[in-house]
Structure 1
Amino acid sequence: MALTKSSVALLAFHTLSVFAGDSCTIDSFNATLDGRVQPLKPLSLPCFSSYNGNSRAPDQSACNAIQRDYSDAFLRANSANGFMYNQIEECASDPRNQCLLDYTNPFNTQALESCHQGNVPSFSLEIKKAEDAMEAFKFSRCSGTPLSIKSSGHDLLGRSSGRGSLNLWTRNLRSLQYTPNFIPAGCDAGASSEYRAVTVGGGVNLDEAYRFAHDHNVTFVGGYAPTVSVGGGWAQAGGHSILSPVYGLGIDRALEYKVITPDGQYRIANECQHQDLFWALRGGGGGTFGLVLESTHKVEPRVSFVSAVVEFPLQSDSRNVLPFLDILVNNSVKWAHEGWGGHFRANSLINITPLLSLSEAKDSLAELAAYVRSQGGTVAIEEFADWLGFYERYVIPNAVEIGDTHFPNTRLVPKAVFETAEGRKNLMDFFARQVSQGGVVYVQEEGPLLYRDVKPTSATPAWREAVWAVTADGFWAWNSTLEERKQSVSQMNEMTELMEAITPGSGTYGAEGNPFTKNWQEAWWGRENYDQLLEIKAKYDPDRLLNCWKCVGWEESEAQDSCFASFE
């Protein structure tokens, strides 16, 4: 949806007067939008014979389709009621208030006892144009109805949902445009302000952006999951990529946002106008400062690189895990300076670098490769001419599992930790504890250590010294009790405190932080950034129409009315 000067002029004169007086109801709001406001019901409802305590007839045909594709991220992204993780749609504080299938076996009939609304919004409006968002903000202000914004539904902290809310669904804002000499609106023309760029609608996902960029002989630097929304939470919260060590974070590459702010105004935010909003949108978090219609991102020429993919079988007692992790701990700063970025688990690694030749890459990873082969594993070090070839071979098959309850718990590890014997020992002790407790080892090597074109952004400054983002995620089963859920949160909090202790002064990627973090303002943004973000929030959203879990402006007292009430 490209917005022309004439359409912007029309927006400037657009009046929203239909909700005056006592006409501020969902019906009057729906009437202004030709009946496009729809009740939103849980994705799995067709499988159940009871909904919110009332009997109903299951729809077996629809149920079969949902059971078959329950873990299909594209199904969920392309559905208004599709969310990637159970904590987004269940009411975590009340195990009875949910509508979930058994994600380990969606055909398990024992899961089909009853369906409740959980944390799923009450209504949905598909955003087709700017005026839709303006009307929604006006209605929210008038009626007191809370709002939530969903593009793909990937938000791990549940911010794209919310019980009782009107959900603004942006997935079908799908425009794509390549500009070889993009100049942000309001900026003077000149070589220093021209960029090779791709402009995407607010619902475009990474899969679409990658393929579009490839068709135009450029490289879009993005994340790992194909269905993640480019302009949604990814490009507003930080946006890490396995290319980030060389090419920076998503917020470093964002050039412009076209956004409807909660005060009902259409705004273009970039380095030359609404600079405060532009700063906030680059790190302040999705669904917080406005509804993004379009965003423009700097792209690279077609990038060639070397990839390394290694894996070995785990021994029954996992005793071959810690030696593998020890090699990683002792080499990661060196590898970061060589441009390597990627992910590793207890017995596998996928990394890439655009800075080394094939022979240099093999020399760089010689110790790692020797150990993996000694454990009966495989090592593949190869060249790729472009991102799309690697993406199709390795990223798509290794996309993160969805459909389960998966709480993030990430901490940024600065290079200083790796540079002392004590720091390295602390990391190995942390891994030893994870392995002994049966925890999942997962680390993202995506700190933008080599990126030098750094301009002010509102994400935690800890990113600039980070080498790793290490995780100690929390999980629980679809049929877990409240006590089991509390135990999971308690264990996750213990690991958060341990990670904070070994990385003093660092921070957390807020989009993947433990949702029960106590010092979340400091950990996710840094106190100075957070205080500034609060001022900008008050300017553009004075009525706090966009108010999600531990977003900028959220208050601790609001926990008691949320679906996380039992854990705070």
Structure 2
Amino acid sequence: MTRSLLRFIPLLALVLALVAFQLARAHEGFARSEKCKALPTDASWPATKVWDSFNSSVNGRLIRTVPIGTPCHGSHFNQTECAFIQNNWHETSLHLPSSSSMMTPLFANKSCDPFTASNAQCVIGTYVQYAVNVSEVDDIRRTLNFSRTHNIRFVVRNTGHDYMGKSTGTGGLSVWTRHLQETQWIPKYASSFYTGPAIKAQAGVSVEQMYKIADENGHVIIGGDCTSVGYTGGYIQGGGHSTLSSFLGLAADSALEYEVVTTTGKFVVASPTQNSDLYWALSGGGGGSYGIVWSVTVKAHPNFPVVIANVTFTSANISQDLFWQAIASYQAVTPALTDAGAYAIAVYGSAFFELAPVFVPNATIEQVQNLIKPFLSNLTAFGINHTFSISSHPTFQIAFDSVPGFVDLTVGIFNFGGRILPKSLWEDPGSFNRTMAVLRGIADNGGTVDDLTLSPSIKVNSAPPNAVLPAWRTAQKFLITLLPWNDTATAAEIKATQNRVTNVIDQPLRDLAPDSGTYLNEADPNEPNWQQSFYGANYQRLLSIKDKWDPEGMLFGRTAVGGDRWFEDANGRLCRV
């Protein structure tokens, strides 16, 4: 008998080991489900009938993602449709009607790339799995509850204008706010801190629509250069720079109140006197972080004339030293421009310089000519061939519409970086010369500089306290650094290019202005120490406000407040740290 039992001991040990292994795996799976969001490959992922039931609860507004590049691949290949997609890939008009497409292809991770071979992969990948086309507050509430119940990543999406990857996510379910289009002109808004005209706009209203409403009523609003951007979403919530920023401040400085759906399903108003902490955070602290904004009400300002000037030249037939001396002469006049309330965009590399436009509100041609006269005189003295034009326009909208680059911007053509440069760099020759050396170094390394001269002032447009990055208040300009995007590059090449932005192009700017920061909506997504760069001294207060209004951490962005509490694994699964 003893010998018989001994023969079974190894088998018993093996069985016990297998049981222990399965229990460990089950525990690991449970732990992962508690720590990580579900993916479609998981057993916990809702069955089709569950999705169908959810679709019924949102009145048939659930959209299953079909990647926009699908006609370029596999059994769905269609030469005509694929060519159309490729030819229009960099136009906003292709992506705006989509509930999932990303205008910044970096975040698509080649999931279903129209420029790869027809037999290459076409998967949903980093696109959201589903989106709810929101038309009422209950659509958001039900989507939040479904995401919570089934442990699914929750995403907020508006137009798809997104340089930071907040509006997509592997395995995600999004609320798509693009079609919330109601607006209201308010002739006499009244509160304890502002009385006057205002505009109320739902989440899907664009900058272009806001401009039009204001203009029709003889007013202007603070809006961006790219008119198809959603005004109420990440634009104003991230601060929102503008052609009018040196004159009237940032878009967030004109925010009067927000209507917000919280992640617990409450519908609240946030203003300087009601839920003031939420108002403070939403006004500059970043979109998709504290609640789902349903609408915003902003100040409207009386209209005014605008003078526009343009200057261009190239490095042809002159030395690089002289070319950069000419650019330095432009930089030298920029403090006078911002003091006059002007905004200017200069784009330059090692071979060209295009100043288009200098945009000066409430000024005369003579005044603007005097502002830029030292620059133009130097170009003539240097013997540099250049073009110059200047014109006056009776209203903001007429002036804005006259700028070709403001009609709409192409998308997905650059890898981005940048830095806000403080006025102090212009205050002594040593710091000014260091600044010029850094700018030249960017061009020498193959970069292009998109140089925005602006100094967001709240002298004319007084604003209640808000979460705008403090570096904006001492800014002389916001530099956007650019390396070309290659549609046919491999994933490794794309990563290498973005790393060049981080480590080669932008690092000298961080060294030049270490105590400054950069604009959280238009930046290097790999920005080191992003908490300081995007939020500055506001970060800890913003984090406490997020914890109050989003206690479960439903709202995630890689560089959003609280984003460092999560990570994405190799499969894109979102997990708690």
**1:451-496: per-residue Cα shift (whole Å, max 9, x none)?**
3524311121111000101122344422323442333233222233
Give the match's secondary structure for 1:82: coil
Is 1:310 aligned to residue 288 of structure 2? no
Please state how far the C-alpha of 1:36 moved relative to its aligned partner.
1.9
Please state how far the C-alpha of 1:312 moved relative to its aligned partner.
2.2
TM-score (norm 2): 0.84
How far apart in 1 are the matches of 2:327 and 2:312?
Answer: 13
Is 1:269 aligned to residue 277 of structure 2? no
How far apart in 2 are the matches of 1:223 and 1:361?
Answer: 22
How far apart in 2 are the matches of 1:59 and 1:311?
Answer: 43
Please state how far the C-alpha of 1:399 moved relative to its aligned partner.
3.9
Counterpart in the other structure of 2:55: 30
Counterpart in the other structure of 2:150: 143
Q: Which amino acid aligns with 2:90?
A: S
User: Which among 77, 83, 102 is matched to residue 102 of structure 2?
Assistant: 83
Matches within 5 A, 1:417-566: 417-449=425-457, 451=459, 453-494=462-503, 495-527=505-537, 529-555=538-564, 558-560=567-569
Counterpart in the other structure of 1:409: 417
Structure 1 residues 316 and 133: CA distance shift in structure 2, 3 A: farther
Please state how far the C-alpha of 1:403 moved relative to its aligned partner.
3.3
Is 1:199 aligned to residue 218 of structure 2? no
Give the match's secondary structure for 1:441: strand
**1:163-202: per-residue Cα shift (whole Å, max 9, x none)?**
110121111111121112113xxx45xxx53131111111
**1:331-356: per-residue Cα shift (whole Å, max 9, x none)?**
21122111111211111111111243
Is 1:238 aligned to residue 239 of structure 2? yes
Give the match's secondary structure for 2:358: strand
User: Which among 91, 113, 122 is matched to residue 129 of structure 2?
Assistant: 122
Please state how far the C-alpha of 1:214 moved relative to its aligned partner.
1.2
Which protein is bigger by CA-based radius of gyration? 2
How far apart in 1 are the matches of 2:428 and 2:508?
Answer: 18
**1:2-48: per-residue Cα shift (whole Å, max 9, x none)?**
xxxxxxxxxxxxxxxxxxxx999433322211332111122121222
Structure 1 residues 75 and 489: CA distance shift in structure 2, 3 A: closer
How far apart in 1 are the matches of 2:363 and 2:199?
Answer: 27
Percent identity over the alignment is: 26
Larger mean CA deviation between 470-479 and 199-208 belongs to 470-479
Give the match's secondary structure for 2:516: coil
Give the match's secondary structure for 1:512: coil
Is 1:100 aligned to residue 102 of structure 2? no
Asked if structure 1 preserves the Cα contact closer than 8 Å seen for 2:260 and 2:294, the reply is: yes
Please state how far the C-alpha of 1:204 moved relative to its aligned partner.
0.7
How far apart in 2 are the matches of 1:141 and 1:503?
Answer: 42
Q: Which amino acid aligns with 2:324?
A: L
Is 1:343 aligned to residue 345 of structure 2? yes
Matches within 5 A, 1:189-228: 192-228=193-229
Q: Which amino acid aligns with 2:61?
A: R
Give the match's secondary structure for 2:563: coil
How far apart in 1 are the matches of 2:86 and 2:566?
Answer: 38
Aligned residues: 518
Q: Which amino acid aligns with 1:341?
A: Y
How far apart in 2 are the matches of 1:337 and 1:475?
Answer: 33
Give the match's secondary structure for 2:76: coil
Asked if structure 2 preserves the Cα contact closer than 8 Å seen for 1:25 and 1:143, the reply is: no
Which stretches in structure 2 are left out of the alignment for 5+ residues?
1-45
Q: Which amino acid aligns with 2:82?
A: C
Give the match's secondary structure for 1:280: helix
**1:424-457: per-residue Cα shift (whole Å, max 9, x none)?**
1111111111121221111111221463524311
Asked if structure 2 preserves the Cα contact closer than 8 Å seen for 1:308 and 1:351, the reply is: yes
Q: Which amino acid aligns with 2:563?
A: W
Asked if structure 1 preserves the Cα contact closer than 8 Å seen for 2:158 and 2:177, the reply is: yes
How far apart in 2 are the matches of 1:562 and 1:426?
Answer: 43
Q: Which amino acid aligns with 1:343?
A: I
**1:228-251: per-residue Cα shift (whole Å, max 9, x none)?**
110011000010002100100011
How far apart in 1 are the matches of 2:120 and 2:385?
Answer: 46
Counterpart in the other structure of 2:88: 69
Matches within 5 A, 1:296-375: 296-315=297-316, 319=320, 321-346=323-348, 347-349=353-355, 350-371=357-378, 374-375=383-384
How far apart in 1 are the matches of 2:153 and 2:254?
Answer: 31
Structure 1 residues 337 and 397: CA distance shift in structure 2, 3 A: closer
TM-score (norm 1): 0.86
How far apart in 2 are the matches of 1:215 and 1:209?
Answer: 10
Structure 1 residues 148 and 395: CA distance shift in structure 2, 3 A: farther
Please state how far the C-alpha of 1:398 moved relative to its aligned partner.
6.2
Structure 1 residues 276 and 434: CA distance shift in structure 2, 3 A: same
Larger mean CA deviation between 340-349 and 475-484 belongs to 475-484
**1:326-377: per-residue Cα shift (whole Å, max 9, x none)?**
0122121122111111211111111111243211111111132345565332
Q: Which amino acid aligns with 2:326?
A: F
Asked if structure 2 preserves the Cα contact closer than 8 Å seen for 1:337 and 1:449, the reply is: no
How far apart in 2 are the matches of 1:129 and 1:415?
Answer: 45
Larger mean CA deviation between 317-326 and 205-214 belongs to 317-326
Is 1:393 aligned to residue 402 of structure 2? yes
Which stretches in structure 1 are left out of the alignment for 5+ residues?
1-21, 50-55, 92-96, 103-108
Q: Which amino acid aligns with 2:526?
A: F
Asked if structure 2 preserves the Cα contact closer than 8 Å seen for 1:327 and 1:368, the reply is: yes
**1:370-417: per-residue Cα shift (whole Å, max 9, x none)?**
45565332211111111221222215566432133x333121111011
Please state how far the C-alpha of 1:504 moved relative to its aligned partner.
2.9
Q: Which amino acid aligns with 1:270?
A: S
Q: Which amino acid aligns with 1:202?
A: A
Asked if structure 1 preserves the Cα contact closer than 8 Å seen for 2:341 and 2:360, the reply is: yes
Structure 1 residues 82 and 483: CA distance shift in structure 2, 3 A: closer
**1:246-288: per-residue Cα shift (whole Å, max 9, x none)?**
1000110111111111111101111121101000101111111
Please state how far the C-alpha of 1:551 moved relative to its aligned partner.
0.7
Structure 1 residues 114 and 560: CA distance shift in structure 2, 3 A: closer
Give the match's secondary structure for 2:476: strand
Give the match's secondary structure for 2:532: helix
Is 1:291 aligned to residue 292 of structure 2? yes
Larger mean CA deviation between 317-326 and 544-553 belongs to 317-326
How far apart in 1 are the matches of 2:515 and 2:545?
Answer: 25
